[in-house]
Amino acid sequence: MSVVDQRDISLGIDELRQVWENYGHDLVLHDPGGSSECLVRGGELITPIGDLDPVLDRCRSWIDHVHRDEGLLMARIRLRESERGNCVDLARETGARLNHVHLGSPVMFGTPVMFGTGAEADPTPPMPEPPDARWDPPVVIGVLDTGCDPHPWFRGRAWFEPVPEVLDADDDSGQDRQAGHGTFVNGVLLQRAPGAVIRTRRALSSLGFTDDFTVAAELRALRRSAALAGENIDVLVLTSGCLTPDDECPPVLAAELERWPDTVVVAAAGNHGSGRPFWPAALPEVLAVAATGSDGQVAEFSAAGDWVDVAAPGVDVRSSYVRLAPGGDRRFGYARWSGTSFAAPRIAAAVATSLQADRDPDEARDCVRHCYTFER
């Protein structure tokens, strides 16, 4: 199995857009290289169903079709082909909203290195399995990511419900660039909070991106499934996020996260290496997590704006991993990866541990801010 040095900087945003468009995804890069650069779903606007009629009155001549999601109470407006690149301007003119593209936070920085895969791999031995602890009362951590495979670390735990990873969505006989990400993130949580219950939803594609609409829908689905199970999501981990043209949070995300007042929300600050707000991490009520290296300094790739709350190790993190094997089989092992995606679960686990020690959510936030200080 080949091994790629994770310190090779991956593709930039426009190159990623071109890669993703090769697989049929309609994306638009707004203000390339400018101060408001961001990716949005091409030819698409979204709006609450209650606001749909006035929006349609303003842009009916540009619309191809409308899809109403009654569960989310949102509508997706698909524009005609001639208007696909004008979605930013049309959103401003009509009062509709863009569907921003979210980047998985390691996607622009490196590729995981699998352990134990032969002479070319890092000689570090397999990692010990975290203890099978059970906290009483339980602390439940919700995760939005690519899924969580039945890796040996997880499969024997009473709470585990597999959410299989999609390893080769593009069917090119190779592992997708973000595949295995959720299994890795869950492993970081398990190492640091072995008594927690982890509930994972697939919101991030194995190619490394998602969007506002999908994240909002999966947030709502996670909340509803927890309610049906009689659980409360105590900590929520979001490992992807987006930049926006106006550096304001997409309204659909802000509105959905307002429905989680009793949950400590932790989000990766992003790997764009600047101070531009990365959403939803930059929301005041969300703990935004930067990544540090072995020297304790903020990593060069990590976002580091004044909206960042805490910093945790995010370089050469080691965790559980799943790899595509010949013939389409799955190989479970361990990997090393870098990104704010892997600093975020470290903080989420610290919050969970604080909650388990009978601290309330505000005390847990204060505790991690004190222990994982972000030096501005």
pLDDT for 106: 65
**Contacts (Cβ under 8 Å, ≥6 apart) of 352:** 139, 141, 189, 193, 196, 234, 235
Chain-centre distance for alpha carbon 333: 22
Partners of 336 in the beta sheet? 113, 318
pLDDT for 61: 85
* The CATH fold of domain 13-103: Alpha-Beta Plaits (3.30.70)
Per-residue pLDDT tens for 66-110?
999 998 889 999 999 988 889 999 999 999 999 999 998 665 555
Q: What is the CATH number of domain 104-371?
A: 3.40.50.200
Secondary structure (3-state) at 199: strand
The Cα–Cα gap between 64 and 71 comes to: 22
The Cα–Cα gap between 9 and 300 comes to: 11
Partners of 268 in the beta sheet? 289
Omega within 30 of 0 (cis) for the link into 137: yes
Contact 208, 177 (CB under 8 A): yes
Cα 102 to Cα 41, 117, 285, 334: the distances in Å are 10, 32, 19, 26
Number of helices (H), then strands (E), belonging to the chain: the values are: 9, 16
Strands 197-202 and 240-241 turn out to be unpaired
Closest CA to 240 of 216, 264, 270, 219: 270
pLDDT for 119: 34
Tell me the catalytic residues.
Answer: 145, 181, 341
pLDDT for 258: 96
**Contacts (Cβ under 8 Å, ≥6 apart) of 142:** 199, 200, 201, 222, 226, 233, 235, 236, 237, 263
Q: What are phi and psi of 189, to 5 degrees?
A: -60, -45
Show me where the domains of the chain are located. Answer: 13-103, 104-371
pLDDT, mean of residues 198-221: 95
**Contacts (Cβ under 8 Å, ≥6 apart) of 6:** 109, 110, 111, 112, 113, 316, 336, 337, 338
**Contacts (Cβ under 8 Å, ≥6 apart) of 227:** none
Mean per-residue pLDDT of the chain: 89
| Residues in the chain, total | 376
pLDDT band at 116; cut points 50, 70, 90: very low
